[in-house]
A = this chain, B = another copy of it.
Amino acid sequence: MTEPTIADVRAAAQRIGPYVHRTPVLTCTALNAMCGAELFFKCENFQKAGAFKMRGATNAVFSLSREEAAKGVATHSSGNHGAALSRAARCRGVPAYVVMPVNAPEIKKAAVAGYGAEIVFCEPTLQAREEKLAELVGRTGAAFVHPYNDPRVISGQGTAALELCEDIPGLDAVITPVGGGGLLSGTATAVRALSPRTRVVAAEPEQADDAFRSLRAGKIVPAEKPDTIADGLRTSLGSLTFAIIRQHVEEIVTVSEQAIVEAMRHVWERMKIVVEPSAAVPVAALLGRHQRFSAKRIGVILSGGNVDLSRLTYFS
């Protein structure tokens, strides 16, 4: 696998344009005051299927040849990537197969099934998941689309930052959450080329800080029992995402679980938009009012808005 370039990100933007939203960039006076900086929120919570994952999945599906695509696409995911790949396959009119643990939340199963994908259940272990996926790919010939460690996926995720740089020139920094690193490495690829003086930083839960530790160690340190409300960030970096992040990302800030929940509440209350815990992680970092963000113009990628509202008392 080779690292994607800005040309790949631009090609992805062309390719996925008809199938995804160009999401708005919102501002919020109250949050600016609370963070002591000027923030520009790229709202991927408004993206199709509710998260930036739609970009990478769509780019991967539409990068396949007609022959490849006809056999369908497959992945394992209990989160946003499964739903995004399912929708991307439906856009192209090809089958999708998603391996999910039997204990996945009903709302996630419903989202994948709602896009017409076939769910293949497995036991909730890494080994069972990989075996089931291999068996599935062997049987169907479907193309495997990894959730993040894939140059097509990374290029697609980079299109959010491409749009952000076009809409808001001259940012001092762009901050994203980091889980497997697809969004972060795509963002770094775009920002480094389009706006070389803009810093690329990431935010990560303290309780799932494998990217922070990997960057410090200079090698991939997998997450050990990640335990965070930010369910999208429990994964570990991949070989490709790590290589890109290592080159281009200046810093990873870690935040506590309490800071994540408080940041999520502030976004809901002040901006009147629904973001998922993973999306609140960079906001939590900014609310920490580190000196290095003070009075800066900062782009924040709000990664998604898929929250299980049955957990909220209003609705239960």
CB-based nearest B residue for A266: B309
A window 234-279: CB within 8 A of B: 261, 264-265, 268-269, 272-275
CB-based nearest B residue for A269: B309
* A264 CB contacts on chain B under 8 angstroms: 314-315
A217, CB-defined interface residue at 8 Å: no
CB-based nearest B residue for A270: B50
* A305 CB contacts on chain B under 8 angstroms: 272
Minimum-distance CB pairs A-B, first 5: A272-B305, A272-B274, A312-B312, A45-B272, A313-B313
A309 and B46 in contact (CB under 8 A), knowing A274-B274, A314-B261? no
* A225 CB contacts on chain B under 8 angstroms: none
A311, CB-defined interface residue at 8 Å: yes
CB-based nearest B residue for A107: B269
Cβ contacts A297-316/B at 8 Å (1 or 0 each): 00000000101010111111
For the complex with contacts A269-B307, A312-B314, 11 further pairs of A-B residues with Cβ separation under 8 Å are A261-B315, A265-B314, A268-B309, A269-B274, A272-B273, A273-B274, A274-B274, A311-B313, A311-B314, A312-B313, A313-B313
CB-based nearest B residue for A316: B313
CA distance A275 to B269 in the complex (A): 10
CA distance A46 to B311 in the complex (A): 25
* A275 CB contacts on chain B under 8 angstroms: 272
In contact, B272 and A50 (Cβ under 8 angstroms): yes
CA distance A261 to B309 in the complex (A): 12
Return A39 CB to nearest CB of chain B, in Å.
16
* A314 CB contacts on chain B under 8 angstroms: 261, 264-265, 307, 311-312
CA distance A46 to B29 in the complex (A): 12
Cβ contacts A32-54/B at 8 Å (1 or 0 each): 00000000000001100010000
Return A83 CB to nearest CB of chain B, in Å.
13
In contact, B272 and A309 (Cβ under 8 angstroms): no
* A313 CB contacts on chain B under 8 angstroms: 311-313, 316
